């Protein structure tokens, strides 16, 4: 459940495809894929999931957290579910716990971007991430521009090694914590955790609390606010 386009994969049927997509189908034979719009109310998402009874569930962490809490509270089981896969958002530890409590299955997180593709994948044996060094050159630097040691947090800079259309060199990404070498034996660099990124935002007065607008919503926020002259700027972590 990751489709977000207006009018796409709408309840009650959603969208069905005969494979998991060309990137998977060219490597191995998969089963069918069914998709539902992420804007669907949570009760309808649960009913749709029960109807399709999936083997794997791929969605955003915030959505799967709500799904797991709802299913646990209502006693809803997904008998065939083997694994939950999360994408697109920063994964908080409590989401893993909620998935285990609701369905008794592991959660696997994928760290990727639209610009780069896969950056790091969760280790099959642990909850940290292995940088996909065959695909990207990743650097984690401190404020002085020096490489971070294991246990230190720095800014991730990524260079794509296979983008033949538009080179992305030292692309500015999230703040991450460097991990110790992994005992699994794969030898790939380790990201222990992903903290999020810093982005420019506007802080607007809303009663007694500040209301933040990020880049895509700046224009409507500006137009709708009765006192645009009182808007101030800030730089806040999007974690």
CA angle 160, 111, 174 (to 5 degrees): 75
pLDDT of 43 strictly over 60: yes
- Per-residue pLDDT tens over the stretch 92-104: 999 999 999 999 9
- Residue 213's pLDDT band, with cuts at 50, 70 and 90, is low
Q: Which of 16-25, 61-70, 82-91 has the lowest mean pLDDT?
A: 16-25
Q: At a CB cut-off of 8 Å and minimum separation 6, what does 172 contact?
A: 155, 157
Q: What's the rounded mean pLDDT across residues 23-39?
A: 87
The helix or strand, by DSSP H or E, that contains position 62, with its residue range, turns out to be helix 61-74
Q: What's the rounded mean pLDDT across residues 224-231?
A: 50
Q: What is the mean pLDDT of the chain?
A: 86
- The pTM of this model reads 0.80
Q: What is the DSSP letter of 216?
A: G
What sign for the dihedral angle of Cα 110, 112, 117, 118? Answer: negative
pLDDT of 219 strictly over 70: no
Q: What is the DSSP letter of 147?
A: B
């Amino acid at each position: 459940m990751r489709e977000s386009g207006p009018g796409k994969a709408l309840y009650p049927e959603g969208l069905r495809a005969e494979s998991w997509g060309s990137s998977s189908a060219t490597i191995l034979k998969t089963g069918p894929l069914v998709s539902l719009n992420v804007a669907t109310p949570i009760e309808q998402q649960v009913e749709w999931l029960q109807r399709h009874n999936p083997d794997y569930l791929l969605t955003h962490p915030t959505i799967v957290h709500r799904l797991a809490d709802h299913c646990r509270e209502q006693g809803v089981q997904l008998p065939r579910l083997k694994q939950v896969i999360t994408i697109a958002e920063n994964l908080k530890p409590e989401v893993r716990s909620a998935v285990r409590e609701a369905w008794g299955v592991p959660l696997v997180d994928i760290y990727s971007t639209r610009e780069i593709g896969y950056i790091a994948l969760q280790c099959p044996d642990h909850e940290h991430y292995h940088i996909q060094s065959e695909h990207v050159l990743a650097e984690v630097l401190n404020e002085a521009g020096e490489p971070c040691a294991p246990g230190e947090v720095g800014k991730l800079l990524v260079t794509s090694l296979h983008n033949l259309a538009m080179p992305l060199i030292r692309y500015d990404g999230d703040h991450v914590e460097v991990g110790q070498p992994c005992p699994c034996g794969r030898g790939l660099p380790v990201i222990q955790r992903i903290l999020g990124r810093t982005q420019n935002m506007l802080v607007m007065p809303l009663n007694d609390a500040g209301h933040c607008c990020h880049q895509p919503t700046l224009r409507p926020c500006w137009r709708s606010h009765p006192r645009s002259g009182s808007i101030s700027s800030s730089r806040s972590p999007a974690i």
